[in-house]
């Protein structure tokens, strides 16, 4: 696909009807979300702590329980340059320098009075965790100890290894579904106890219908980047999409945001506008971002004319919306269980058995190479990255760069070293392109 306006003459941004909508609306919604959380805390209303890979927002929203995402709160402290204050406070409590730094930023926030740069972080009344990251469970147990709040671990069986068949026809799908469905019913009972409200299945249907819409548009957003030039950077603007996808999952404002973001991208495609003036390399980003030096990190790629046209992060960080969620509202709980399993197979299971998915993205998004960014904090996303890189180079001839830093621990940022590796990667990509042309 090529943008219609790729004539080199981009229209002035004043001619663009939707320009700036994503940024503006994204900021408004995230501010509003924080205000709701802080208000709930002030009024001592129950708030649930949840995680981005599997928040089970459908059930919580059906009970109108506000959701706090400690991962998002942690990354926001790094973007504001504050993560180290919290992180060190947690290390003072005995938490090791070698564990997930998101956990430590959060612990630091809790032990220093819960004042976050965006507002007041609420105390959880309920924790809904999944096994999509095992650290979620350990993290949740910390709040359980701190506040004595109930903790529900929704256990989602994932990819099982060689020969495992994904999808509804897979050998264990039915029994996995029965297990997840049974647990969802148990979670509903717990929510009834926490809120003192009876479960309303029609409200659940409403929320699920909204997730269907949101998922459809989220997919359309990601697909816009198949255009050349790609209209957005999956790492920078992608984080805004992800933030709203989590905080407003199942909320009409979330679907409206996605629609506005998609329209803005379509307009950019039409005008041939990308995030940088001259797109020379199209990259897939694998691994989570580096928020301590977010802007500089992306710049080191943009200096070479590179755009992250796709990010694995958008899949698992977006709660599996990228897979296409199609809830059957006639049988909501069963369908919720099925879609949780299906969407998690490509998001969280996809992380550790990733090469097939990556090969597909390289093909469909016309990717020149993959940046594998390992972060020390996150064994979930980073353990096998060197192996995936090696496998893709050997078997699919896909060039890959492996670099390391961290999400929120500024001590692990080594700019000169990163830059050397990034520059060397682009030099070899350039050579590759040149020889392909000959």
| Positions that interact with ligand SF4 (CB under 6 A) | 71, 100, 102, 133, 135-136, 377-378, 380-381, 407
- Overall size of the chain counted in residues: 438
Q: Which two tokens stand for residue 273?
A: 């506008």
Q: Are 128 and 56 in contact (CB under 8 A)?
A: yes
Direct distance between the N- and C-terminal alpha carbons of the chain, in angstroms, rounded to an integer: 24
Q: Choose the contact partner of 163 out of ligand SF4, another protein, none; CB within 5 to 8 A by kind.
A: another protein
Tell me: does residue 410 bind another protein (CB under 8 A). no
If we measure between CA atoms, which residue out of 73, 74, 64 comes closest to residue 250? 64
Q: Choose the contact partner of 71 out of ligand SF4, another protein, none; CB within 5 to 8 A by kind.
A: ligand SF4
Tell me: does residue 252 bind another protein (CB under 8 A). no
Q: Choose the contact partner of 397 out of another protein, ligand SF4, none; CB within 5 to 8 A by kind.
A: none
> What pairing do the DSSP bridges indicate for beta strands 48-49 and 67-68?
parallel
Tell me: does residue 70 bind another protein (CB under 8 A). no
Shortest Å, Cβ 137 to another protein: 5
Q: Report how far residue 308's alpha carbon sits from residue 329's, in angstroms, rounded to the nearest whole number.
A: 36
Shortest Å, Cβ 333 to another protein: 13
Near another protein by CB under 8 A, which window of 176-184, 240-248, 313-321, 363-371? 176-184
Shortest Å, Cβ 98 to another protein: 5
Q: Report how far residue 325's alpha carbon sits from residue 61's, in angstroms, rounded to the nearest whole number.
A: 17
Q: Which two tokens stand for residue 207?
A: 């929320």
Near another protein by CB under 8 A, which window of 19-27, 63-71, 161-169, 207-215? 161-169
Shortest Å, Cβ 96 to another protein: 4
Burial 173-196 (b: 16+ CB within 10 A, else e): beebbebbbebbeebbebbeebbe
Q: Report how far residue 149's alpha carbon sits from residue 158's, in angstroms, rounded to the nearest whole number.
A: 27
Tell me: does residue 175 bind another protein (CB under 8 A). yes
Tell me: does residue 391 bind another protein (CB under 8 A). yes
Which helix (H) or strand (E) segment holds residue 83: the answer is: helix 83-92
Based on CB atoms, which residue is closest to another protein, 300 or 388?
Answer: 388
> How many C-beta atoms surround the C-beta of residue 387 within 10 A?
13
Based on CB atoms, which residue is closest to another protein, 32 or 175?
Answer: 175
Tell me: does residue 199 bind another protein (CB under 8 A). no
Tell me: does residue 293 bind another protein (CB under 8 A). no
Based on CB atoms, which residue is closest to another protein, 244 or 392?
Answer: 392
Q: Report how far residue 184's alpha carbon sits from residue 212's, in angstroms, rounded to the nearest whole number.
A: 19
Near another protein by CB under 8 A, which window of 39-47, 55-63, 129-137, 428-436? 129-137
Tell me: does residue 158 bind another protein (CB under 8 A). yes
Based on CB atoms, which residue is closest to ligand SF4, 36 or 71?
Answer: 71
Give the torsion sign (CA, 418, 364, 245, 188).
negative
Angle at 407 (CA atoms; ends 148, 119), nearest 5 degrees? 55
Query: How many CA within 13 A on the CB side of residue 424?
Result: 10
Q: Choose the contact partner of 188 out of ligand SF4, another protein, none; CB within 5 to 8 A by kind.
A: none
Angle at 245 (CA atoms; ends 240, 246), nearest 5 degrees? 105
Q: Which residues bind another protein (CB under 8 A)?
A: 93-96, 98-100, 103, 131, 133-135, 137-139, 141-142, 145, 151-155, 157-163, 171-172, 175-176, 178-179, 182-183, 186, 351-355, 374, 376, 378-380, 382-388, 390-391, 404
């Amino acid at each position: 696909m090529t943008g219609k306006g790729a004539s080199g003459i981009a229209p002035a941004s004043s001619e663009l009807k939707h320009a700036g909508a994503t940024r503006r609306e994204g900021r408004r919604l995230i501010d509003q979300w924080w205000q709701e959380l802080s208000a709930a805390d002030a009024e001592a209303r129950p708030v649930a702590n949840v995680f981005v890979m599997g928040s089970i927002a459908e059930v919580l929203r059906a009970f109108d329980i506000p959701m706090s995402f400690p991962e998002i709160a942690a990354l926001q402290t790094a973007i504001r340059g504050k993560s180290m204050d919290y992180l060190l406070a947690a290390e003072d409590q005995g938490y090791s320098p070698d564990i997930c730094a998101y956990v430590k930023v959060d612990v630091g926030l809790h032990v220093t009075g819960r004042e976050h740069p965006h507002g007041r972080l609420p105390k959880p009344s309920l924790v809904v965790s999944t096994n999509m990251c095992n650290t979620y469970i350990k993290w949740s147990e910390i709040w359980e100890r701190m506040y004595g709040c109930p903790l529900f671990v929704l256990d989602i069986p994932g990819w099982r290894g060689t020969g495992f068949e994904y999808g509804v026809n897979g050998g264990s799908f039915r029994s996995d579904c029965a297990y997840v469905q049974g647990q969802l019913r148990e979670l509903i009972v717990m929510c009834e106890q926490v809120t003192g409200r009876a479960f309303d299945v029609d409200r659940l249907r409403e929320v699920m219908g909204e997730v269907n819409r949101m998922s459809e548009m989220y997919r359309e957003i990601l697909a816009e980047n198949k255009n050349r030039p790609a209209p957005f950077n999956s790492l920078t603007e992608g984080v805004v999409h992800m933030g709203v996808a989590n905080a407003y999952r199942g909320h009409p404002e979330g679907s409206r945001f996605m629609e506005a973001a998609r329209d803005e991208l379509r307009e950019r495609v039409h005008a041939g506008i990308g995030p940088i003036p001259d797109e020379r390399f199209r990259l897939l980003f694998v691994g989570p971002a580096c928020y301590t030096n977010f802007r500089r990190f992306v710049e080191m790629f943009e200096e070479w004319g590179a755009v992250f046209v796709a990010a694995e992060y958008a899949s698992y960080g977006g709660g599996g919306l990228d897979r296409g969620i199609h809830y059957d509202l006639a049988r909501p709980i069963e369908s919720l269980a099925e879609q949780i399993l299906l969407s998690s197979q490509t998001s969280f299971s996809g992380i550790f058995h990733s090469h097939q998915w990556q090969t597909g993205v390289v093909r469909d998004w016309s990717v020149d190479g993959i940046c594998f960014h390992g972060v020390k904090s996150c064994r979930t996303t980073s353990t096998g990255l060197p192996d995936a890189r090696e496998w893709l180079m050997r078997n699919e001839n896909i060039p890959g760069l492996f670099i390391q830093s961290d999400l929120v621990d500024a001590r692990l940022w080594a700019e000169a070293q990163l830059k050397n590796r990034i520059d060397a990667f682009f030099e070899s990509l350039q050579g590759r392109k040149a020889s392909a042309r000959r």
